[in-house]
């Protein structure tokens, strides 16, 4: 199973241009699954609800159709972040579009910083779906800071966590080592690069998209700056083996009864 990390540097608000650029990166490498960044074609730093209204997409919009058509054309899965418009408000979401036309939606559970001004906390919970022989779980950026997120996906049976990101802090790419290791899963953190300067505030995104194996090996690492597509073959069987030696199976040996606070809050 070949996984691609797509690292871009979108121009804020230039949806068509950003989608075109993402597709030309995708066209450079053949893969079974492409993981793209969070808010992958709008840019990140919204400064008003009106702007989110203008740049967001409902699931039947033209932009989403373009991604579906691309997945069908390639015969591959594309997982990308976008600003989702719904009747109740906006979500910071990711969508997996499959080559049979099906989709799997995830809405970010843990909103970061000023996202809280514009987006609603996710309502889907963590989603896992199967493609070919691979179980793929969905998470978005700051979800990583809550270890329950990747743990839950691993307990739901994910072999690969597709982690669409717009990281601004320098820690996640290192933290993926521990999260991949203790959960025995592959983690694909697809991150963006570039700086957005909007209404007196500048945010710089840290690039260095990574793919980490269940053994904590860095299989891929993108550049700190600039766009890139990186590919690697992975074996889901490795993520299903939760044994670290003949005596220790790190999932079978969990002690959930001891992990509750038992009234000691
Ligand atoms: C983030 O959640 N975009 C840091």
CATH number at residue 159: 3.60.110.10
149 vs 262, more confident: 149
208 lies in some domain: yes
Is the confidence at residue 265, as pLDDT, over 70? no
Distance 168 CA to ligand 1 centre (A): 7
Atom of ligand 1 nearest to the CA of 39: 3
Single out the residue of 264, 38, 26, 17 nearest to residue 167, CA to CA. Answer: 38
Whether residue 53 lies in the annotated active site? no
Distance 257 CA to ligand 1 centre (A): 32
Mean pLDDT of the chain: 97
**Site residues for ligand 1, CB cut-off 6 Å:** 38, 112, 141-142, 166-168
- State pLDDT tens for residues 185-202: 999 999 999 999 999 899
Whether residue 38 lies in the annotated active site? yes
Distance 246 CA to ligand 1 centre (A): 39
- State pLDDT tens for residues 144-185: 999 999 999 999 999 999 999 999 999 999 999 999 999 999
Q: Which of 15, 38, 51, 172 is catalytic?
A: 38
Whether residue 141 lies in the annotated active site? yes
Residue nearest to atom 3 of ligand 1 (CA): 166
CA distance 214 to 177: 9
Q: Are 9 and 192 in contact (CB under 8 A)?
A: yes
Q: Which of 70, 108, 172, 208 is catalytic?
A: 108
Distance 141 CA to ligand 1 centre (A): 5
- State pLDDT tens for residues 44-76: 999 999 999 999 999 999 999 999 999 999 999
225 lies in some domain: yes
Atom of ligand 1 nearest to the CA of 167: 4
User: Which of 93, 110, 166 is the pocket-test mutation for ligand 1 (most atoms within 8 Å of CB)?
Assistant: 166
Q: Which two tokens stand for residue 126?
A: 């963590």
Q: Number of folded domains in the chain?
A: 1
Q: Which of 15, 115, 141, 208 is catalytic?
A: 141
| Percentage with pLDDT > 70 across the chain | 100
The domain of 201 spans: 2-258
- 228 in the Ramachandran plot: left (φ > 0), alpha (ψ -120 to 50) or beta? beta
CA distance 124 to 245: 36
Q: Which two tokens stand for residue 2?
A: 């070949």
Region 119-141: mean pLDDT is 97
Residue nearest to atom 2 of ligand 1 (CA): 142
212 lies in some domain: yes
Helix (H, G, I), strand (E, B) or coil at 115: helix
Task: Count other Cβ atoms within 10 Å, centred on residue 127.
Answer: 18
Atom of ligand 1 nearest to the CA of 140: 2
263 lies in some domain: no
33 lies in some domain: yes
Query: pTM for the whole thing?
Result: 0.97
Distance 84 CA to ligand 1 centre (A): 16
265 lies in some domain: no
Cα 220 to Cα 163, 167, 227, 234, 248, distances in angstroms: 14, 17, 14, 11, 28
């Amino acid at each position: 199973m070949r996984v691609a990390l797509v690292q871009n540097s979108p121009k804020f608000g230039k949806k068509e241009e950003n989608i075109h650029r993402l597709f030309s990166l995708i066209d450079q490498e053949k893969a079974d699954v492409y993981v793209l960044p969070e808010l992958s074609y709008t840019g990140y730093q919204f400064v008003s609800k009106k702007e989110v209204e203008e740049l967001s997409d409902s699931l039947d919009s033209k932009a989403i159709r373009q991604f579906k058509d691309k997945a069908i054309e390639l015969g591959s899965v594309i997982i990308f972040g976008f600003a989702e418009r719904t009747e109740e408000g906006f979500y910071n979401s990711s969508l997996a579009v499959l080559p049979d036309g099906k989709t799997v939606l995830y809405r970010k559970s843990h909103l970061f910083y000023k996202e809280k001004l514009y987006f609603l906390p996710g309502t889907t919970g963590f989603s896992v779906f199967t493609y070919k022989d691979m179980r793929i779980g969905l998470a978005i950026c700051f979800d990583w800071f809550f270890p329950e997120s990747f743990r839950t996906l691993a307990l739901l049976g994910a072999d690969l966590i597709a982690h669409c990101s717009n990281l601004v802090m320098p820690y996640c790419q290192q933290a993926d080592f521990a999260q991949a290791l203790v959960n025995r899963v592959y983690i694909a953190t697809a991150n963006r690069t570039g700086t957005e300067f909007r209404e007196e505030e500048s945010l710089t995104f840290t690039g260095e998209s990574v793919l980490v194996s269940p053994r904590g090996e860095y299989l891929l690492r993108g550049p700190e700056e600039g766009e890139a597509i990186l590919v690697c073959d992975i074996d889901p069987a490795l993520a299903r083996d939760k044994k670290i030696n003949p005596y220790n199976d790190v999932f079978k040996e969990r002690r959930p009864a001891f992990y509750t606070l038992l009234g000691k809050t």
